[in-house]
């Protein structure tokens, strides 16, 4: 058999996954690391940690599986998006990487809107300026660390720093490039207009590649460090969300991926660049060649249920907490929950948004509150579906659900009823690293294209269909839910002062 490795450099660990050419997972290894918060709202990481963890995880994987390096036909890379890696002319890091969850760049986001115009910025890049993206981080270094900025010769993303160590090549995948907010998303490459407006030298940016393209090969030095064979090709891969979508088969229009973890991500593939006019959805290039995607992000999805359990019923298991809620009717008898416990991203990009129970009466007990939390998160996720439809996404035929929240049959039913579309669970749960390995296998010719690979290796293991009577109830409640944030926004902001 032939084998492929997917390497996922996340915020807290690097995972190496070995996949056989029939799509089966042979082994997984991971090495963890930390990140620094030198000031409030800052988040930084030393790039050397990703490389050290890649070496350690790859060696663990080879030892654990006993697979010969000569049988490994390629690597696919994925990892945290948006992080800024600045290098000098010799490829040395100039400062710690500023990560995706760093919040220091509010002024630089305003600067981007002023220089390009908000609507023009969205039309080109597919997104409004947000503190998490790479472009405002570059401006922050320019504005605050001019000595470092004067030495910049190369700009990379975290996984592409790993690529550099593996291959010696400066390269980036198109999904990751789109996440820098320096891309013309429709043209799938760097935007000359954005670079000129922000005075960023295009020479600093690497060439970009589709997710299945070869970007370089393992060098002799990298082979000695990792145990891999020199000359093994390294493929483009993709940012973590795009690669994870490949791993769940969300690579064709009509199939939507829903990740119900601490945060919630709604991910829909598209055949063309679809841009939501106000930037309330993220629009990026997909890791699948020639495709794009829309993405909505909820900051506290399953995190809302965990907060609720920990705060109000800390000695109760999730199963014990959820079972009584099965007997509460749809709509929780007039009780609604707003899940904005850590602010919100989609559809309200508001860090000062707050959570709330609305409609409490003496009739409501704990089971009502539990069900209201499940329903409130589902309503918030429906916001992303509604925005996608309004932006022009043709249809939603199936929702593929992953993450810890997917284990609850009650929550799956609530989600299906509120969305009005069927939910399915899958045999694949290895996330972005598995998607990166699939991209490498397609690039190697194991399958003719990414959709063909996904159709062959990803199987549906369970289905939850909407109950139309419940859907009608939820449609009425959803209209009330949507009116709550605008009504409470001013109060939320006053409470945050």
CA distance 110 to 308: 35
Q: Which residue in the list 160, 173, 184, 240 is annotated as catalytic? A: 240
d(CA 391, CA 405): 27
The structure tokens 């220091």 sit at 104
Nearest to 122 by CA among 188, 176, 205, 194: 194
Across the strands, what pairs with 32? 13
Q: Identify whether 240 is a catalytic site residue.
A: yes
Positions marked catalytic? 240
């Amino acid at each position: 058999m032939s084998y492929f490795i997917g390497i996922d450099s996340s915020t807290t660990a690097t995972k190496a996954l070995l996949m056989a050419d029939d799509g089966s997972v042979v082994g997984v290894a991971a090495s963890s690391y930390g990140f620094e918060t030198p000031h409030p709202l800052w988040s930084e990481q030393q790039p050397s940690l990703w490389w050290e963890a890649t070496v350690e995880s790859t060696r663990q994987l080879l030892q654990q599986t006993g697979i010969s390096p000569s049988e490994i036909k390629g690597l696919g890379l994925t990892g945290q998006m948006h992080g800024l890696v600045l290098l000098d002319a010799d490829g040395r890091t100039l400062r710690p990487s500023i990560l995706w969850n760093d919040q220091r760049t509010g002024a630089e986001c305003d600067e981007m809107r002023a220089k390009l115009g908000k609507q023009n910025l969205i039309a080109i890049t597919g997104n409004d300026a947000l503190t998490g993206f790479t472009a405002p981080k570059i401006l922050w270094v320019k504005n605050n660390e001019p000595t470092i900025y004067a030495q910049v010769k190369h700009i990379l993303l975290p996984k592409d720093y790993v690529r550099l160590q593996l291959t010696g090549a400066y390269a980036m995948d198109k999904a990751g490039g789109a996440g820098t907010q320096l891309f013309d998303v429709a043209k799938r490459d760097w935007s000359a207009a954005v670079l000129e407006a922000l005075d960023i030298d295009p020479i600093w940016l690497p060439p970009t590649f589709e997710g299945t393209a070869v970007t370089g090969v393992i060098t002799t030095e990298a082979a000695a460090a990792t145990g891999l064979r020199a000359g093994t090709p390294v493929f483009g891969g993709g940012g973590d969300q795009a690669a994870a979508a490949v791993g769940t088969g969300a690579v064709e229009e009509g199939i939507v991926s829903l990740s119900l973890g601490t945060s919630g991500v709604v991910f829909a593939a598209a055949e063309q660049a679809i841009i939501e006019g106000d930037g309330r959805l993220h629009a990026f290039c997909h890791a699948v060649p020639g495709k794009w995607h829309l993405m909505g992000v909820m900051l506290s999805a399953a995190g809302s249920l965990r907060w609720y359990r920990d705060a109000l019923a800390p000695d109760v298991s999730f199963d014990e907490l959820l079972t009584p809620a099965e007997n509460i009717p749809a709509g929780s008898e007039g009780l609604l929950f707003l899940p904005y416990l850590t602010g919100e991203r989609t559809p309200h990009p508001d860090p000062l948004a707050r959570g709330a129970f609305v409609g409490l009466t003496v009739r409501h007990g704990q089971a009502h509150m539990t069900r209201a939390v499940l329903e409130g998160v589902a309503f918030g996720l429906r916001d992303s579906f509604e925005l996608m439809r309004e932006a022009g996404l043709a249809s939603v035929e199936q929702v593929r659900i992953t993450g810890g929240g997917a284990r609850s049959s009650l929550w799956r039913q609530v989600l299906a009823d509120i969305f009005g579309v069927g939910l399915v669970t899958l045999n694949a749960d290895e996330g972005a690293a598995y998607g990166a390995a699939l991209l490498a296998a397609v690039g190697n010719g194991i399958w003719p294209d990414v959709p063909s690979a996904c159709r062959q290796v990803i199987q549906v293991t369970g289905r939850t269909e909407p109950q139309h009577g419940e859907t009608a109830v939820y449609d009425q409640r959803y209209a009330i839910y949507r009116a709550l944030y605008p009504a409470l926004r001013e109060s939320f902001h006053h409470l945050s002062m």
